[in-house]
Amino acid sequence: MSRSEESEGQAGQGRGGLSLGLDGRFELLPDVRLPRLDSPHAEAYEARDLREPDRPHFALVCRRELLPRVDILERVSRIDRGSMIKPRQWGVVDWHPAGGRRFAIVFEEPGGGRVFGGSLGEFAPMSLENIRRSVIAPLVPLLQELSERGITHRAIRPDNLFYTDESRSKVVLGESVSAPPGLAQKAVFETIENGMAEPSGRGPGYPPDDLYAFGVLLVVLLTGEIPCADMTDQEIVAAKLKRGSYSALCGKARIPLAMLEPLRGLLCDDSSERWTTGDLKSWLGGRQLTPKLPALPPKATRPFRFAGTEYLDARSLAYALGNDWPNAGPSLYNGKIADWMLRSLGNEPRAQLIGNTMRRRQYASAEDGGSDDRTISRVLMALDPEAPLRYKGLAVNIEGLGAALAANYQKPEKVQLFVEMLKGRLPLAWFDAQLASRPELLSVKKLIEQACSFATRARAGFGIERCLYQLNPQWPCQSPLLAQEYVCYVKDLLSALERIAGRGMPSEEPVDRHIAAFCAARTRQVPERLLNNLAAESATVRHMAMLQLLADVQKRTGPARLPALTRWYASLLAPAIDGYRNRPYRKQLADEITRLVEQGELGLLSVLFDNPAAVRADEQGFAVARAQYRQAANRISWLEQGGLSGPDNVLRASRQAASMVSAVLSGLMLVVLTVFYAM
């Protein structure tokens, strides 16, 4: 189906477009679906370049629950080689078909369509010459440039190949940024370590991972079929562990002799020995290279029996134990596995590490219900330190821990596993178990150390919510209040809350645990005192802390006016006005709030309410008024009880009156005598 036919078939009555990008160059058409350009985790829609309308484009609208690779979009868009579909523009759009806002990415459409448009099991093999000319020659320079820029593709597979034009003489790689890295990859295209991890937790990986996938892609193109297609992912990984990747994937395939050399090099399980793009270029130039034979794991002199199967190497045993967690414990607690590592494999350091782990379990508190599970996890690290971090059947690469948490955040049972892992500091134990330090993981380790600390603190601004945003700097805020928004950056938070308040006064408080953790992770300058007050029992204290938090955000990022949000806070803090006893001051406050709401500055509202001097003056004035009231009340009570007509009071009053009369009469007498004698 041509693009025009497909567009006409999908279009509805209207063709209203959505502008994307700061310059408004691209327009998305939500009523024009392009299913043939879908990615596994994103739907394709028509997009128009308003400057060059004749060049066809499409947009991928990402799923809300999955994090696109925002961190590499800018670098990928600058790739010089023309052998990959590159993003042209990206951003958040108001996505009316599903309601709310979504992240969308615009790409220029390849002219020749998908290499494998139908089922992957139904295509003819490519000739060796065609593969060299159309696939290897254009893609090797691309892989080299990706490596030089510190980027991994992580989506190299047959159904993500496109022809550049209708001549179909050259292919390009499809996109790799609409979902977490490696999420759409089958285990057959992943290295042993990545295949062990769940897809959302594989992480960005390293350039050798792309070269491994490229090797599997070449096998598919040469044979016309997916290796191990009749096996599950677990069976594929187990086969690779037992026989090595090359033998597991190519053992039964008819591979041309000329391709044996590069395939052995690309499918080498030791990443340090795997062929590089330089090796592939040399091979294309006619140079003969001898790949190193795959080094299988050391074999034990006697097997270790688990669940009815005998294992002769530690990696295969660890993989089996991790996949059968309920039965793993009893096989480990008897202490035989440390003895097996020492006597049958001759690995004294690992045997000692396992022994120390088992002894630590013996001294654990009886109330520590998670001790057994942490012990299993640590023993698996000792058996296979290169494997992902495993806990209760959850397996994630250490670089993919944050992405896996984000992808599984809507599954409470999975989130609980992450909480237990972080509280038990198992990610840090994984680092300690490594045979050699890896400098590229130092920044990851620092983030995970912080996350382990945050996970143990349950109050607002911390907990698993803080871990979520700390480990995923581009992950949008997951607050239910922002369910229809897509707030990736703290600078967009207040604008979103302003839109929500503008649609009607919400019944919820403006800051929940997610928003508090989001702000704390993004600004990293939120005082802990403020976070503590967010959980205060007093509604006034809690609302003031929320106001101060968002006022600081407005001061840092804007926007300058937030009248609807200011009105929202003013309504929440209305009870605080009633707390003042001075009625004229309450009236003054109400008038001032009305003015500040129109001004829309949260900081001024915060200053108005957070006024200790006014509180003290009100308390002092109230104390004086209470004293005056008590004095007047006492006087009234005295009068009502006949205080003026009492005998003592009458005697005292008569004496005072007599004294006054005597004084007056004496004065008059003196005046009369003085006048008389003067005459």
- Bridge pairing between strands 389-391 and 304-306: unpaired
Residue type, 667: G
Asked whether the beta carbons of 531 and 461 are under 8 A apart, the reply is yes
Beta-bridge partners for 89: 106
CA dihedral (252, 258, 259, 263) in degrees, to 10, reads: 100
Tokens representing 520 are: 């704390």
Domain ranges of the chain: 3-108, 128-284, 297-387, 480-610, 611-639, 642-679
Phi first, then psi: what are they for 16, rounded to 5°? -70, 130
For the domain covering 3-108, report its CATH number. 3.30.200.20
The pLDDT of residue 5 is 42
Residue 638: how many CB atoms within 10 A of its CB? 12
Least confident range from 309-323, 407-421, 584-598, 603-617: namely 603-617
pLDDT band at 11 (very low <50, low <70, confident <90, very high): very low
Average the pLDDT over each of 92-96, 114-118, 293-297, 440-444 and give the range with the smallest value: 293-297
DSSP annotation of 39? B
Integer Cα distance of 119 and 376 in angstroms: 41
Contact between residue 163 and residue 110 where contact means Cβ atoms under 8 Å apart: yes
CA pair distance 360, 522, nearest whole angstrom = 38
Cα 106 off chain centre by: 23
DSSP state of 72: G
The predicted structure's pLDDT at residue 673: 66
> In which band, very low, low, confident or very high, does the pLDDT at 21 lie, cut at 50, 70 and 90?
low
Secondary structure of residue 348 in the 3-state scheme = helix
* pLDDT value for 414: 95
Peptide bond into 559 cis (omega under 30): yes
Instruction: Provide the pLDDT for residue 6.
Output: 47
Looking at residue 609, its pLDDT comes to: 78
Continuous segment of H or E residues that includes residue 47: strand 42-49
**In sequence order, which residues have a C-beta less than 8 Å from that of residue 147 and are 6 or more positions away?**
207, 210, 277
Considering only residues 554 and 618, tell me which one the structure prediction assigns the higher pLDDT.
554
The confidence score (pLDDT) of residue 10 equals 41
Is the pLDDT at 118 greater than 60? The verdict is no
Provide mean pLDDT across the span 670-676.
Answer: 66
Burial of 673 (0-12, 13-18, 19+ CB in 10 A): exposed
What's the whole-number mean pLDDT along residues 343-368?
80
Assign 3-class secondary structure to 264-308.
HHHCCCCCCCCCCHHHHHHHHCCCCCCCCCCCCCCCCCCCEEECC
**What is the C-alpha separation between 615 and 608, in angstroms, rounded?**
11
Question: How would residue 524 be classed by pLDDT, with cut points 50, 70 and 90?
Answer: confident
Cα–Cα dist 176/204, whole Å: 11
Whether the pLDDT of residue 598 is over 90: the answer is no
What is the C-alpha separation between 382 and 85, in angstroms, rounded? Answer: 42
pLDDT classification of 162: cutoffs 50, 70, 90 = very high
676, amino acid identity = F
Instruction: Please report the pLDDT score of residue 77 as a whole number.
Output: 93
The reported pLDDT for the residue numbered 659 is 75
- For 22, other C-beta atoms within 10 Å of its C-beta total 8
Integer Cα distance of 195 and 182 in angstroms: 10
**For the segment 186-239, what is each residue's pLDDT rounded down to a tens digit?**
999 999 999 999 999 999 999 999 999 999 999 999 998 899 989 999 999 999
The residues with which 26 forms a beta bridge, in sequence order, are: 20, 49
pLDDT at 648: 66
Strand partners, 231: none
Structure-model confidence comparison of residues 468 and 628, the more confident one: 468
pLDDT tens string 37-46 = 999 999 999 9
Checking if the pLDDT of 308 tops 70, the result is yes
* Cα–Cα nearest to 554, from 509, 514, 600: 600
* Eight-class DSSP state of 68: -
**Which range, 12-21, 90-99, 229-238, has the best average confidence (pLDDT)?**
229-238
Which of these, 233, 301, 293, lies nearest to 269 by C-alpha position?
293
pLDDT tens sequence across 529-575: 888 889 888 888 898 899 999 999 999 898 999 999 999 988 888 77
Outline where 124-275 has alpha helix (H): 128-130, 137-148, 192-196, 207-223, 233-243, 245-250, 257-266
**Cα-flanking dihedrals φ and ψ of residue 316, to 5°?**
-65, -40
Per-residue confidence (pLDDT) for residue 17, from 0 to 100: 67
- CATH superfamily of this structure's domain 128-284: Transferase(Phosphotransferase) domain 1 (1.10.510.10)
pLDDT value at residue 639: 65
Above 90 in pLDDT, residue 678?
no
| Stretch 168-183: mean pLDDT | 94
**Residue predicted with more confidence, 492 or 332:** 492
Tell me: pLDDT of 650 over 60.
Answer: no
Question: Around Cβ 413, how many Cβ atoms within 10 Å?
Answer: 8
Nearest to 112 by CA among 170, 55, 54, 159: 170
Strand partners, 59: 45, 106
pLDDT at 277: 95
Query: What tokens appear for 98 in the block?
Result: 């599903």
Q: 237-282: per-residue pLDDT in tens? A: 999 999 999 999 998 888 898 999 999 999 999 999 999 999 999 9
598 class by beta-carbon count within 10 Å (0-12 exposed, 13-18 middle, 19+ buried): exposed
User: Residue 622: pLDDT above 60?
Assistant: no
Q: Where are the beta strands (DSSP E) in 68-213?
A: 87-94, 101-108, 161-163, 171-173
* Residue 113 CB neighbour total at 10 angstroms: 16
CB 535 within 8 A of CB 542: yes
- pLDDT category at 368 given cuts 50, 70, 90 is low
pTM of the model: 0.86
d(CA 377, CA 394): 10
Amino acid at 503: R
Residue 14 has pLDDT above 60, yes or no: no
Integer CA distances (angstroms), 254 to 219, 222, 562, 596, in order:
9, 8, 68, 78
Find the range with the poorest average confidence among 76-90, 240-254, 574-588. 574-588
Query: Among residues 455, 474, 449, 445, which one has the least CA distance to residue 416?
Result: 455
- Residue 167 structure tokens: 């001549």
User: Looking at the predicted structure, is the pLDDT value of residue 661 above 70?
Assistant: no
Q: Which of 374, 395, 268 is nearest to 320 (CA)?
A: 395
> What average pLDDT does the structure give for the chain?
86
Residue 13 pLDDT exceeds 50: no
Helices 463-471/513-523 angle, 10° precision: 40
